[in-house]
Structure 1
Amino acid sequence: MNISGNSILLTGASRGIGREIALAFAKQGNKLTLAGRNEQALEETRAGVEQAGGQAIVVAGDVTDAAWREFAIQKAVETYGGLDILINNAGVVSAGSLEEQTEEDVNQQLQINLVAPILLTRAALPALRKSKQAAIVNTSSIFGLLGMPFYATYGATKSGLGHFGEAMRRELADAGIHVMTVYPGATDTPMMESAGLGDEAGFAYDTPEAVAKALLDGLQANELTVVRADENSQGMLDANRQSPRELDEQIRQMKPKLEKAVEQHRSM
């Protein structure tokens, strides 16, 4: 699809991958509605978008709030005359054993990572159907393809988001709305500052700029999925399909190191 001149609603736009997605689209002359909880950070993203050659408005709020979801879509349509691309990028994480997770953290991950994107997509569909070329992009995670200990709830939400995208792609096949899912690996963003999933745990960090570029390239090529996996992660994904019991043993051996590495990983 054409990745320039579009009206785009982007959640999680205040930092990390979301900010780089906004800047990458800005360089292609797009018009962005920047959504997130931190208005000051969103204004910083907006300034970057305008400096890069795009247009942007800020709609700060809580993606789990139904009234805010409707308002964000309305602002995008009113400001830019329609909505062409919805990017469900907002996400939170709380790592640790399930027994030690608070019920609040479990529910918040479910609501922000999975329920909110489904409901925002539902609310945006009438506007997207009016676009001559429309798309929905969901930001999942490599842990949506690979179940890892200490990320049970997070992985469940990201796996669910991937299956949601797959189902919607087929549901909307005759509506001219393309659906793509992006699966980033461990990425050097503020969300990962409290994690230890670097070289010591066996995962190489990607850059948010590279993830954003891959998203735009994938959308332009009408890809169905974009997977960002380092060599170790790709090996684990392959093993998970071909010999899952052997991978179980590999992960069992790395569990003590992994548990220590992620014990403080929380970005809510």
Structure 2
Amino acid sequence: MDLIDKKIVITGGSAGIGKSFLKELIKRGANNFAIIGRSEKPLEKLTQEFPDVNFVLIQGDVSALRDIERIVLMVEKHLGGADVLINNAGVVSAGGLEDISDEDIINQININLTGLILLTKKMMPLLKESKEGAIINVSSGLGYIAMPFYSVYAATKAGVRQFSDALRREFHMYPLHIMTVYPTATDTPMMKNADMDKEMDDPDMVAKESIDGLLNGELNVVFGGEQREKDIKTNFEEPLKIDEKAKAAYDNLKQRTKKHRAM
């Protein structure tokens, strides 16, 4: 895939992994972007940081259908179409299921999954017109292996995984490469309230390896190394073994997730 002339849409693109995607794509010659974010100031800073890039900056909330429809209209009007959609926007509210507020449960589902699906649906007419298009859906390692105190978040990210697979099979007749990314804990604003007991991944590394995966035609880019790959296989074939690991880590996880909320 030649990225230079691609029209690229990134949700949650003004910070974290989304911004790292933007930087990596610019390095590889891309110059036409629609960036969606909930806050205006981080979006405005992008024009200062990347003055030579053609930006369409859109303040919007992917959990709101009216914003999704406005995003698609602005992309079509000001970018002239779309070749690549990177569904990166996401939120997290960790804790025991009975302790997470109803509002946080609804918002996690609406932003992480429902909004992603609706935006993809509304963008699909533009993406289908691309001669060489792609959709990158950012899931999570928890989308493969769910853990205590992340029940809702894990459910949304597992939904992203299944959505990607179904989408790829449904639109196989179009030149669209549909790929899913599974980061582990990554050093982004989303993780600032998490009490981590190990070093986190660099978002720039996540973006670089993800774009490498896109250009290599990979369907899934899974972070966490060989051990994560083994654990995914075990979780599928012998889930009770992962249950035992979760039991052993239960108290530690409960403590570490007490304040992990980025909504």
Aligned residues of 2:88 and 2:138 also touching (Cα < 8 A): yes
Aligned residues of 1:195 and 1:261 also touching (Cα < 8 A): yes
**Aligned partner (choices 237, 245, 254) of residue 249 of structure 2:** 254
Aligned residues of 2:10 and 2:34 also touching (Cα < 8 A): yes
Aligned residues of 1:16 and 1:189 also touching (Cα < 8 A): yes
Report the count of equivalent residues: 262
Greater shift in the superposed pair: 244-253 or 154-163:
244-253
Q: Is there any run of 5+ residues in structure 2 with no aligned partner, and where? A: none
Q: Residues of 2 paired with 1:242 and 1:177: CA distance?
A: 31
SS at match of 1:98: coil
Q: How does 1:1-268 map to 2 (within 5 A)?
A: 1-30=1-30, 31-50=32-51, 54-199=53-198, 204-230=199-225, 233-268=228-263
Q: Residues of 1 paired with 2:196 and 2:210: CA distance?
A: 23
Q: Residues of 2 paired with 1:74 and 1:220: CA distance?
A: 28
Q: Residues of 1 paired with 2:174 and 2:230: CA distance?
A: 37
Q: Residues of 2 paired with 1:205 and 1:157: CA distance?
A: 22
Q: Residues of 1 paired with 2:64 and 2:107: CA distance?
A: 12
Q: Residues of 1 paired with 2:206 and 2:50: CA distance?
A: 17
1:235 is displaced (CA, Å) by 4.6
Aligned residues of 1:198 and 1:205 also touching (Cα < 8 A): no
1:80 is displaced (CA, Å) by 2.8
Aligned residues of 1:91 and 1:112 also touching (Cα < 8 A): yes
Q: Residues of 2 paired with 1:56 and 1:34: CA distance?
A: 7
Q: Which amino acid aligns with 2:64?
A: D
Q: Which amino acid aligns with 1:214?
A: E
Summarize deviations over 1:25-80 as a string: whole Å, max 9, x none: 12223211110101101122343343xx5322210111122222122222222223
Q: Note the aligned Cα RMSD (angstroms).
A: 1.5
Q: Residues of 2 paired with 1:101 and 1:34: CA distance?
A: 30
Q: Residues of 1 paired with 2:166 and 2:107: CA distance?
A: 24
Aligned residues of 1:5 and 1:28 also touching (Cα < 8 A): no
Identity %: 40
1:231 is displaced (CA, Å) by 5.7
Using the size of structure 1 for normalisation, the TM-score is 0.93
Q: Which amino acid aligns with 2:36?
A: A
SS at match of 1:100: coil
